[in-house]
Amino acid sequence: MSKMKAAIYTGIQEIEIQEVERTAPGPGYVTLDTKQAGICGSDLHSYFGHWNQSHTLAAGHETCGIVVEVGEGVTEFQPGDKVTVECFSHCGRCVYCRTGHYNHCLERKWVSHNVHGGFAEYTTAHASGLFKLPDSMSFEEGALVEPLAVSYRAVAQAAATYQDRVAVIGGGTIGQFCLAAAKAAGVKETLITVKYDQQAQLAKELGADHVVHIGETDPKEYVNDLTSGFGMDAVIETVGGGQNFDTALAIVRPRGAVVLVAGYFEPLEVNLSRIVWSEAIVTGSNCYGNSGMDTDFQASIDLITSGKVDATKLVTHRFPLTEVTEAFKVAADKRSGAIKVHLCQ
């Protein structure tokens, strides 16, 4: 069995390259030669210890690579295919899979369950999570499909149309892609709240109509002025924490939509009377599935290949896999100017 390099968490805010066994893919699984992988907000939560860290297996789920080996029973993919990967596997048979809600699959597992994910020279992933990419798509674009699909679904959950003004809370990757997906969907007007200058700059480049720098401007006052007291038709909250949920409820109009697509680690104190009074429709958005006749993943691939979303604008830093320690430091501290940090091979 050959060896390969993999990035492994070794403690809180510690990740390093180790030599690990490269195993053959099991039944239903595929091995990719990893080309590019993004560091996600959820990876940073593991890095900081908010979520479980594996001390033996590489994480990483925003992955693009070339298939090099397929396990028993895999017929849809073969060596040489350029692919990207959803972060979970699904069975294809349960009631949720059969009705297009495969993100709620009864047998859903982490796509690299018990194997190495994208922060390794070779990624092993369940074939149910794989999508073939067109030749025209770069590895970098391929590694951005996953976060775009998360945002695409969040916008779809808001069901926003040309009548709607959409606010996005948060200028990180998911927030920026929500902005881009809302623009691509043709909504009337977009507003995004940001914390860092690079986020404001990018949001302007992506065509945001209103960029609200929190700390300088109160989003509630801004929206109040902008909408003559009405509020936004839809608000997508990408940051987490009670204060941001509270802001979302404060700036949404009566009967508007609030979509939560953030990580929450502890119970929050929120004044739920706001929901009673406003009749706001509050919902979550869980990864991706089918929001329409296509999967959110395929729709996101199309948004990138058609040029409707200029995804690579989000990538501020690129490191070789061997510099993973530095890459995580940069990604974890947004004062570095980071939005999306990629590991390249």
Nearer CB in complex with Zn ion: 106/272: 106
CB-nearer residue toward Zn ion: 70 or 261: 261
How far lies 114's CA from each of 12, 46, 99, 109, in Å?
21, 17, 28, 10
Distance CA 1, CA 6 (A): 15
Other beta carbons within 10 angstroms of residue 19's beta carbon come to 9
In sequence order, the 6+-apart residues with CB closer than 8 A to the CB of 180 are 148, 151, 206, 207, 303, 309, 310, 311
Site residues (CB under 5 A) for Zn ion, limited to 168-227: none
Q: How far apart are CA 103 and CA 19, in angstroms?
A: 33
Dig out the tokens for 262 from the structure.
């953030």
Residues within window 5-44 making contact with Zn ion, judged by CB under 5 A: 40
Shortest Å distance, C-beta 84 to Zn ion: 12
Query: Which residues have a Cβ under 8 Å from the Cβ of 201 and sit 6 or more positions away?
Result: none
Is residue 54 within 8 Å of residue 110, measured between CB atoms? Answer: no
Query: Per-residue string for binding with Zn ion, 90-109, x by CB under 5 A?
Result: xx--x--x-------x----
Shortest separation between residue 167's beta carbon and Zn ion, angstroms: 22
Return the DSSP state at 290: B
Instruction: Count the site residues for Zn ion by CB under 5 A.
Output: 6
| Strand pairing class (340-344; 62-70) | unpaired
- Reported residue count of the chain is 345
Which residue, 94 or 281, is less far from Zn ion as judged by CB?
94
Calpha distance 285→189 (Å, rounded): 21
- Nearest distance, CB of residue 65 and Zn ion, angstroms: 16
Rule CB under 5 A: is residue 332 a binding residue for Zn ion? no
Residues 116-135 that bind Zn ion (CB under 5 A): none
> Which residue, 85 or 232, is less far from Zn ion as judged by CB?
85
**Nearest approach, Cβ of 300 to Zn ion (angstroms)?**
12
Closest CB to Zn ion among 6 and 44? 44
Task: Please report how close the Cβ of residue 298 comes to Zn ion at its closest, in angstroms.
Answer: 18
286's tokens: 């869980």
Minimum CB separation of residue 87 from Zn ion in Å reads 6
Contact track, Zn ion, 38-77, x by CB under 5 A: --x-------------------------------------
Q: Where along the sequence are the contacts to Zn ion (CB under 5 A)?
A: 40, 90-91, 94, 97, 105
